[in-house]
Amino acid sequence: IDAKENEIHRAQQQIERVSSIHAEELDRLRLQLEQVIAERKRMESEIQESEYKRQSARIATHRQLLETERNFHEEGKTLRENQHKLMQKLVQVEREIGEQEANQMRELFQLEKEGATRALEIEDKYHEEKEELKAQIVQVRRVLSRVEYWSVT
């Protein structure tokens, strides 16, 4: 009976350690989620770095889940439930990042469109002014040729 009680005690300690590790991992992932939201307007390379960190966290969580399931069936059930919540949060973050990327792409497209429109406007104005100057040059030449003609005669 003492051996069984010791075994139960060790199992409870292991469950507490795994629960503590899982809680720390969950807190770390929540902090990471806040950081990802705060970094929403950063460049695409920063978003990729954030995705790499989330992928690493997801792999670590998955490995921890597999190890826990081998050792503790009941604790495995609890961890799967917690993992589901965590995955929902990760999906939410991925959606937000997708929205950020889409917004950045829309902004970039709008800026490119505005730039192209402005370039066309400038080019059109240049051509108009060029044509006006050509017309003025022709008029000035005509006036000068008349003046020369009258001054020669």
pTM for the model:
0.35
pLDDT tens-place string over residues 29-64: 999 878 766 666 665 676 677 788 889 988 898 888
Tens of pLDDT, residues 70-87 = 776 776 677 789 899 999
d(CA 65, CA 58): 10
Q: What is the pLDDT of residues 111-143, one digit of tens each?
A: 999 999 999 999 999 999 999 999 999 999 988
Q: What is the dihedral of CA 22, 23, 26, 30, to 10 degrees?
A: -170
Instruction: Check whether 21 has a pLDDT greater than 90.
Output: yes
DSSP 46: H
Domains in the chain: ranges and CATH: 2-116 (1.20.58)
The b/e string for 69-81 (b: 16+ C-beta within 10 A; e otherwise) is: eeebeebbeebee
User: Do residues 96 and 40 touch, judged by C-beta distance below 8 A?
Assistant: yes
Chain length of the chain: 153
> Cα(72)–Cα(82) distance, rounded to whole angstroms?
15
